[in-house]
Structure formats: C-alpha cells, structure tokens
Amino acid sequence: MNVLLTGAHGTVGSAIRDRLDDRYEFTYLDVEEHPEFETAVADVSEYDDLAPHLEGQDAVVHLAMPDWVGGSTSRELGWDPGLERDTRALCTVIDGAREADVEKVIYASSNHAVGLYEVTRAPEIYYPGHGVTVDHTVPPRPDSRYGLVKVFGEGLGRLAAEVHGLDFAAIRICAVRDEPYDHPYGDAERGVERGDWDRGSEGYDEQVARLKGMWHSRRDLAQMVERCLETEDLGFDVFYGVSDNDRRWFDTDHARDRIGYDPQDNGEEWDAPPE
C-alpha cells in the first residue's frame, strides 16, 4: 500500500514512521529534509506543492498543521491569520486526495476538538472514579481555536466521505510524546527539567494524574493508524487515540469494535518514571 504521511518527522509522525516503515510504501512529506529519511518537501497549504505527491497514493495520513493558532490553551475568539492557512491546508489535502483518487484519508484530529469536556471537569477528571465517558457520538466542544480547526477538518472529512465516497478516519489524538517521555510521567519529568516544579510537588502529581488518563503510547498510536489503514469500507468515523488507561475518560470500545484496535499500554501500570 502506498501511503503519503504529511508532517512525517514530528512527534506523531515519527511514532508512525519508526514502527510502520517496513509495512507500507511511505512517502514522507514535511517542510524540510530529514538527515535519515528521504523526504518530499512541500507546503500542504499550497495545492501545486502538494498535488504531485498525492499521485499514485492509496492513502494519506495527514498530520501536518501549518499554524497552531495560539495553541490548545488559548481561549481567544478573534480572527487569527493562522486560521486561514490551517483550514486551507485541510481543504487542499482532502480535496487533493479526492482529485487524485486516493481511497482513504486518516486525519490527525485531537482531543481538543472535544476539550471542554476535560476543561470543565478538571482536575477531578484526572483521578479514578470521575465517572466521565466521552465517546464518538458526543457533540464537538472545542477548547480553543486549535480545537476548532480540528473540528473543521472532521466536518470536511465527513462531507468528503458522505458525498464523494472517500474513506475518512479522524483520530482524536490524546497525548503522544517523544521517545524519552513516552510514559505517563513524561510531562511531569519534562516540567522538572524546565524548572516548572519539583518531583512530588502538587504540579508534578497533577501532571502525572492527567497523563495516566490521556497517554497514548507510541506503539498504540502506530497500531491504531495501521488498523485504520487495513480496515476496508470505513466511510466516515471518529476514534480516540488513547491507550488502555484505567482512568481514561475517552472511549476505546468503538475503535475496538470498528477497526480491531487492541491497545497494549496502561498508564496505571506505572508507579514511577523510568530510571
């Protein structure tokens, strides 16, 4: 299977690349070259840049986002020029895939498309017994303009699927981290390194509690992408990119039933960071 991977060398892209490189004929696309992997350099928001790399592909795994429009913690409502670039990129990739007769798009959506379910219940939602389940049927509740862009991508993907017959899977990615921090203590330990808090502090403990619910290990992420690639007749669907964490609030049953997702990791199995 020929697969175009946009944003190939970021945190999420590298998790897919490192674990699935020998399974598919990947074209790695990013904004700059990589020292180890042959890279197609292109701007996904520019159709003429992107179109040649869509030819001959069976699927696109779309991770690239040109502008984070203030990030996931900003609650701004006003116009940001990044909104135009981000939404144009989504139109370019999805419509370009349709034009090139690509069969399937797997889209890196985000938990921030429904982030207010967390924001309005934090920090209680980070601890066992919270009683919250957010599944694929809930209304979108973006927590930021970043989340809003992700909702736009999901809506455009639904239109492409239901009107134009494109298979489209939106993965609402929770918390994927680079290799040294690929564990539920990752965010807390990174904060120690930055000088944000000390180990054992309230801030440290809250970060651990949150990531024990949100963690999506790199191997579980790669497996979910693989299952989306291998499942036929997806139509339009939404899955939560999260490991089998006991205290998660995002549903995995739908992904298990629909694509055979079988996560291997559970944040609750960790009681300390790695040595």
Catalytic residue numbers, as ranges: 146
Phi, psi at 48, each rounded to 5°: -65, -30
Closest CA to 202 of 126, 110, 136: 126
| Residue 133, C-beta contacts closer than 8 angstroms, at least 6 positions apart | 249, 250, 251
Helix-then-strand count for the chain, H and E: 9, 7
What values do phi and psi take at 265, rounded to 5? -110, 150
Neighbours of 105 (CB within 10 A): 28
Question: Are 126 and 208 in contact, with CB atoms under 8 Å apart?
Answer: no
Structure tokens at 169: 């899977």
What sign for the dihedral angle of Cα 78, 84, 86, 88? positive
Give, as one character, the DSSP assignment of residue 39: E
